Amino acid sequence: MSSHNPPALLPSLEEILSDPDILEIMIDGYTSVYVEKQGRLQDVPSPYHSHEQLVDELVALAEYAGRTLNPESPLLDLRLADGSRVHVVMPPIAVGGPAVNIRKFPNKSFMTFEELVQVGALDENAVTFLKACVRSELNIVIAGGTGSGKTTLMNVICGQIPRTERIIAVGAVAELKLTQPRKVTLEGREANLEGKGEVTVRDLIRSAMKMRPDRILVNDVLGGEVIDILNAINSGITGTIFSVHANGVRDALSRLEIMATAGNPSLPLLTIREQLASALHLIVYIERLLTGDRHLMKVSSIQGMQGDSLLVEDIFEFHQTGVANGRTQGYTNPTGRLPRFLNRLRDLNPDLSLDIFKPR
């Protein structure tokens, strides 16, 4: 997915695109435009006066990107120069007119841990723990549903990687904002109209392994590349961080099992579970709540195997106490359980206090 510059090519949307509080723009035919703002969907006046005006802007955007958009090729995915993602479905597939989603990429630097604590998304003890995990080069899975804040959280966590390390960031779409100087970003590419030229995330991970990485980061793991990530970890590349779509910690593990099986169908399920237990240390689960608030719900340690199953223990979990003024109320509490990698944490973070694990 290549990058292209938007605002001049989407002139009717320029005012909406420039609103820093808008996270996503949705168009369902030229008369229906709405946005996600402050965690909620809101209707906005459509800037389009006709079906033809909308189609003309979308076709111009596709042509600028060297792509085709018409009834015979009705799907378009591309990344704008600022990192925002555009997905278009044209008629006749989209029955009511062009359907467009633009997921904006923030112009400002991504939030810090401290800012996430201030808005109530994280707890200070959990932050202390996560910072120590990154410094200790643990392998971390960031899980959550669509729009839950996975990419924001991943950027914050990856911001703790030391600036001396060489980082290779991989994804079908380049979404990570890394400030470290020794970084390489690799982005996948779809096949052309002749079915040639595709570069998959699996290709990119294998390439990254040859580039002397200290860490490999993968945003939005969707398929068999799980096997390649496990291979990278087992080859000695520590501190790997990747994200996955899931509706909970257990769901994340189940999805990883399914994707690993797709990547290597000959591997028995038990072998896959053993590899996951050996390679992965931590699952961080974030959720978008009914109020629109995004909150870290669980930080869980993969403790190993228990019989034929993966053993997982929650280290921190969020307890919701209610809703006030449209905002979720609650607190994050340690469970009192200790992660299996505690000795490694304390060896590499001698100032880490065990008090962060004590329930309040």
101 residue type, one letter: N
* Domain over 113-357 is classified CATH 1.10.10.10: no
Residue 150: CB atoms within 10 A of its CB come to 25
pLDDT at 7: 44
Q: Are 122 and 296 in contact (CB under 8 A)?
A: yes
Q: Which residues contact residue 306 at a Cβ distance below 8 angstroms, ignoring those fewer than 6 apart?
A: none
Q: Is the pLDDT of residue 82 over 60?
A: yes
The token pair that represents 12 in the structure block: 């009717």
Task: Work out the pLDDT band at 196, boundaries 50, 70, 90.
Answer: confident
Q: DSSP state, 257?
A: H
- For the chain, residues classed under CATH 3.40.50.300 are 113-357
- Using CA atoms, how far apart are residues 310 and 30, in angstroms rounded to an integer? 49
Give the pLDDT mean for 320-326.
89
Q: Are 346 and 357 in contact (CB under 8 A)?
A: no
Q: DSSP state, 133?
A: H
Give the pLDDT mean for 248-276.
97
Q: Are 313 and 301 in contact (CB under 8 A)?
A: yes
Q: Is the pLDDT of residue 266 over 50?
A: yes
Task: Work out the pLDDT band at 325, boundaries 50, 70, 90.
Answer: confident
Give the pLDDT mean for 307-332.
92
Helix (H, G, I), strand (E, B) or coil at 45: coil
- Using CA atoms, how far apart are residues 158 and 188, in angstroms rounded to an integer? 20
- Using CA atoms, how far apart are residues 134 and 137, in angstroms rounded to an integer? 5
Q: Are 241 and 203 in contact (CB under 8 A)?
A: no
The token pair that represents 322 in the structure block: 């209610």
Q: What is the pLDDT of residues 99-115, one digit of tens each?
A: 999 988 765 545 788 88
Q: Is the pLDDT of residue 231 over 70?
A: yes
pLDDT at 1: 47
What is the CATH code of the structural domain delimited by 12-103?
3.30.450.90
- Using CA atoms, how far apart are residues 259 and 283, in angstroms rounded to an integer? 16
Task: Work out the pLDDT band at 235, boundaries 50, 70, 90.
Answer: very high
pLDDT at 130: 96
Q: What is the pLDDT of residues 328-356, one digit of tens each?
A: 888 899 999 999 999 999 999 999 999 99
- For the chain, residues classed under CATH 3.30.450.90 are 12-103
Which residue, among 314, 248, 238, 256, has the nearest Cα to 282 in the 3D structure?
314
Helix (H) / strand (E) element for 256: namely helix 249-263
- Using CA atoms, how far apart are residues 172 and 195, in angstroms rounded to an integer? 17
Q: Is the pLDDT of residue 278 over 70?
A: yes
The CA-CA-CA angle for residues 283, 132, 316, to 5°, reads 45
pTM for this prediction: 0.84
Task: Work out the pLDDT band at 257, boundaries 50, 70, 90.
Answer: very high
Q: Is the pLDDT of residue 280 over 50?
A: yes
Mean of all residue pLDDT scores within the chain: 91
